[in-house]
Amino acid sequence: MRDYDFTPLWRSTIGFDRLFDLAEAAQHAAEETYPPYNIERLADDRYAISLALAGFSPSEIAITAEQNVLTVEGAKQEKDERVFLYRGIANRPFKRQFNLADYVQVRGASFDNGLLKIELVREVPEAMKPRRIAIEGMPVSDTKKLKAA
């Protein structure tokens, strides 16, 4: 048995819909192998996804960023009927989805030598970053000790 049934959990939980969707998507992600891809960390808040798309042109690929999901779709537009004796280069239609963490945005995309590279950056708004709160009534000497620590 490879699939897990989350139905009993749906009945007894509230607000965990996205968590169960991610778990379900992870189950099926192992089945998808086309197109192959890499995910790399370029810096603390910069990432890149590279997809190997041999035989595709940029006009045959669509990239969509919607909420926390990045979708890359491709469909080959065959113009002439060719007879292949052996076909080892896959050019079938595909749809690959990546779940993005909060505040991760797509910065740009480039296509070079059959590799589609998508640049991502995590930009946390200032209001969401941790900040130090001053405590009223604290002597100035104690405040200096906290800053030194």
* Contact residues for 1 (Cβ-Cβ < 8 A; gap 6+): none
Tokens representing residue 92 in the block = 């079938």
Whether the CA torsion 45, 48, 20, 63 is positive or negative: it is positive
What ranges do the domains of the chain cover?
A: 1-31, 34-129
What integer pLDDT is reported at residue 49 of this predicted model?
94
| Identity at 139, one-letter amino acid code | P
Q: Which CATH class is domain 34-129?
A: mainly beta
Each residue's pLDDT, cut to its tens digit, for the chain (149 residues) gives 466 666 666 555 555 555 666 666 666 555 567 899 999 999 988 999 999 998 899 999 999 999 889 999 999 887 777 788 888 887 789 999 998 888 899 999 999 999 999 999 998 888 877 888 888 886 656 555 555 55
What integer pLDDT is reported at residue 140 of this predicted model?
59
pTM of the model as a whole: 0.66
Task: Say if residue 35 is preceded by a cis peptide, omega within 30 of 0.
Answer: yes
